Amino acid sequence: MFERPKAGQRALLVHLQFPGADFESDRQEFIELARSAGAEIVDVIGGSRREPDPGLFVGSGKAQEIADTVAATGAELVIFNHALSPSQERNLEKIAKARVLDRAGLILDIFATRARSHEGKLQVELAQLQHIATRLIRGWTHLERQRGGGIGLRGPGETQLEMDRRLIRDRIGTLKRHLEVVRGRRAQSRKARERNSVPTVSLVGYTNAGKSTLFNALTGDATFASNQLFATLDTTVRRLALKSGETVLLADTVGFIRDLPHDLIAAFRATLEEARDASLLLHVVDAADPERMSRIGQVEDVLREIGALEVPRLQVFNKIDLRDSEAPRIERDEHGAPARVYVSARTGVGLDLLREAILERLQPGLPESELVLPPSAARLRAQLFTQHAVRAEAIDEGGNFHLRVAMPYQRLRGLCAAAGVPPPPAPAHLIEEWELSP
């Protein structure tokens, strides 16, 4: 046994290749993750295996190589780019005489340093506690000591390990209760937006695809954006004005990554539901990333896990300024609907096309109303046409305009009130909600 160091930034990285994996791409991402956590990388050990060793994950020879490198470099921490079981971590620590951290622990550590809001900090703490709850029986010698022996503390007591486990269980319960309150508030906010027929568009994508930069470029906001993994964690929602005069809510969400820890997905459930309940997802892709197609699949795996795969998606190929001869454009699917938009959030090229594509993808889902306007309401009629809200029009013998309009009902009612024109009847689902409201 050994006393585990309380801190340590000097890290030895271990990355093995398994069948079907892209070794070099995964290795480079691993190095970026370690740097994002503030690690001082002393060396990177590679290798290949068909399958993990049950006891050490690596073979005994590779484990000894790790121990020798730790001794030679003075590494305080060994980080694996793989998921390790608690027993594998414990066995490796005994051999290496250094603290061992797996990929999930590394990502959780990065999230802990990036969380800014109260909600984000609660989510990260919950994920960390759930992760370490099964990893308490490790190199801490003090955890085996009994409480007792002092005045007022004599008796069998409980071991430090048992007390730590109990404290963790209690804290996990408290965090879950707090996050349920947060989740309830988010659900109420979403219901309010639905009542007001305000569509929500959520940005999703692999981490470092440029989501926050795109968010800032579209909304004029100043959300922190940086060329690093998981630059922002906390969901930010701002209004986005489209060319029609329509307003939608744009939400910037946490970035996804390969093998995102399940504890983290569970803890961030309230945040990720912003994506699941959105009217449209903008899947931001780094157009300059040679692994972009693989990244698309990995993001869709996470969307599937949180139940958001059925939400309509529009792919946004960002960073075209880093590619030669890549022009801003909209690519359409077989039905003629926008499927991909090529833009550069950094230079602003193609953002007008993106706004047009968002509007086109949202308009089919907007509620339609039948509106009759007298000839004196020509100004309101012109407004509706300017906002691209008119789906069909007919004129009767008295010169009245019969319009079929697609826009949020609350907004249409406001326009009618401003023009002094009776609004059309409210949709049935809104009448039911108003009747049920206290």
**pLDDT per position in the chain (438 positions), as tens?**
445 445 568 999 999 998 877 788 888 889 988 988 889 999 999 999 999 999 999 999 999 999 999 999 999 999 999 989 989 999 999 999 999 999 988 888 887 777 767 777 887 788 888 887 777 654 444 444 444 444 444 344 456 667 777 888 888 889 889 888 877 777 776 666 555 557 889 999 888 888 889 999 998 865 544 555 554 555 678 888 887 667 888 988 777 777 776 666 766 665 676 678 788 999 999 999 988 998 899 889 888 887 888 889 999 999 999 998 889 999 988 777 889 999 999 999 999 999 989 988 887 556 778 899 999 999 999 888 877 678 788 999 889 999 988 777 777 888 899 889 998 887 654 444 444 444
Please state, as a whole number, how many other Cβ atoms lie within 10 Å of the Cβ of residue 156: 8
Task: Provide the token pair at 59.
Answer: 């073979």
Cα–Cα separations (whole angstroms), residue 316 to 263, 285, 342, 350: 29, 6, 6, 10
Task: Give dist(CA 210, CA 285) in Å, integer.
Answer: 8
Say which DSSP state 157 is in.
Answer: -
Name the one residue in this structure whose structure tokens are 């590679």. Answer: 46
CB 171, CB 129: distance < 8 Å: yes
Q: Are 151 and 13 in contact (CB under 8 A)?
A: no
pTM of the model: 0.65
Q: What is the CA radius of gyration of the chain?
A: 27
Greatest CA separation found in the chain?
Answer: 100
CA distance 76 to 115: 25
> Which are the contacts of 352, defined by CB distance < 8 A and separation ≥ 6?
243
Of 250, 249, 320, 260, the closest CA to residue 285 belongs to 320
**Residue 138, class by beta-carbon neighbours within 10 Å (0-12 exposed, 13-18 middle, 19+ buried)?**
middle
In eight-state DSSP terms, residue 8 is -
Tell me how far the alpha carbon of residue 48 is from its chain's centroid: 31
State the pLDDT at residue 407.
75
Angle between helices 160-195 and 269-276 (to 10 degrees): 30
In 204-348, alpha helices (H): 211-219, 262-267, 269-276, 292-305
Let me know if 394 is exposed, middle or buried by CB neighbors in 10 A (0-12, 13-18, 19+): exposed
DSSP 249: E
Q: Checking DSSP bridges between strand 10-14 and strand 338-342, what pairing results, if any?
A: unpaired
DSSP tally for the chain: helices H, then strands E: 14, 14
Q: At CA 218, angle to CA 216 and CA 222, rounded to 5? A: 20
The strand pairing partners of 252, in sequence order, are 203, 236
Domains of the chain: 10-101 (3.40.50.11060), 198-364 (3.40.50.300), 366-433 (3.30.70)
Separation between Cα atoms, residue 409 and residue 423, nearest integer Å:
9
